[in-house]
Amino acid sequence: MTRIAIAGSDKVVVGPAGSSLLTVLQEAGHPIATSCGGVATCGLCKVTVKQGKENLSPICQEEINHLGSIAKIVGLRLACQARCSGEGEVRVEVPEVEDVAARKAAKAERLRQLRNSNPGGRR
């Protein structure tokens, strides 16, 4: 079992060997972005490993493709590809999940106001 400590919170979750960080975080109810469901095509599940990278699987080519070769140096990983592999603790920084629905609603409201202030006119 690998302990996953989430930076910026006091939350620690436990993942069995072989399970991805994405799965462990989702099963623990911690919000993490994804649109591909964990098949390494969206790149949204990017996390930063602050400590304990030796308790995760080595970085894979799909991660390098999405994150660039600097990923190894700065600790970036795709949570869907990084798998628990050690008995120690991993400290990860998980970006806040953007509320896409709220952003779309705000944009629609701005466009509506723009149209109402300039009906039939040019923008």
Strands, E assignment, the chain: 2-6, 12-15, 46-51, 76-78, 89-93
Measured from the CB atom, the residue of 6 and 45 that comes closer to ligand FES is 45
Report the nearest approach of ligand FES to the CB of residue 84 (Å): 15
User: Which tokens hold the place of 31?
Assistant: 């919000």
Give yes or no for residue 49 binding ligand FES (CB under 6 A): no
| Contact by Cβ (8 Å): 30, 39 | no
CB-closest chain residue to ligand FES: 80
Q: Does 14 bind ligand FES (CB under 6 A)?
A: no
Binding site for ligand FES (CB under 6 A): 22, 34, 36, 38, 40-45, 78, 80
